[in-house]
């Protein structure tokens, strides 16, 4: 059993936004697949929090790839994992 995952309000809102885009562009099947992939990724993070690389802007924040088109950013604390936000990788790059 891994660390508990806490999802921030920003993470919830960004996840919902990505879900709406996927459903609009690709349909309900793609949306359900994305949600399943997200759950698998979060389970992996809970059990192996340091599996994904540190971000360039903060060594405490990590970027997990859900699918080629989306990522999750999270911070590992001593007693929990905080999901900070989700990112659509097709957006403008976050880092230059």
User: Percentage of the chain surpassing pLDDT 70?
Assistant: 94
* Among candidate residues 18, 21, 53, 55, the one with its CA nearest the CA of residue 38: 18
18-56 burial code (b ≥16 CB/10 A, e <16): bbebbeeeeeeeebeebeeebeebbeebbeebeebeebe
pLDDT digits (tens, 9 = 90+) for 20-57: 999 999 999 999 999 999 999 999 999 999 999 999 88
Whole-structure pTM value? 0.89
Whole-angstrom distance, CA of residue 90 vs CA of residue 36: 20
Cβ–Cβ under 8 Å, residues 76 and 49: yes
Domains observed in the chain: 5-88 (3.30.2310.20)
């Amino acid at each position: 059993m891994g660390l508990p995952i806490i999802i921030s309000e920003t993470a919830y809102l960004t996840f919902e936004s990505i879900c709406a885009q996927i459903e609009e562009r690709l349909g309900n099947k793609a949306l359900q697949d994305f949600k399943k992939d997200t759950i698998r990724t979060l389970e992996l993070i809970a059990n192996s929090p340091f599996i994904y690389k540190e971000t360039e802007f903060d060594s405490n924040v990590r970027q997990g790839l859900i699918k080629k088109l989306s990522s999750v950013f999270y911070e590992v604390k001593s007693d929990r994992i905080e999901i900070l936000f989700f990112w659509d990788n097709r957006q403008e790059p976050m880092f230059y």
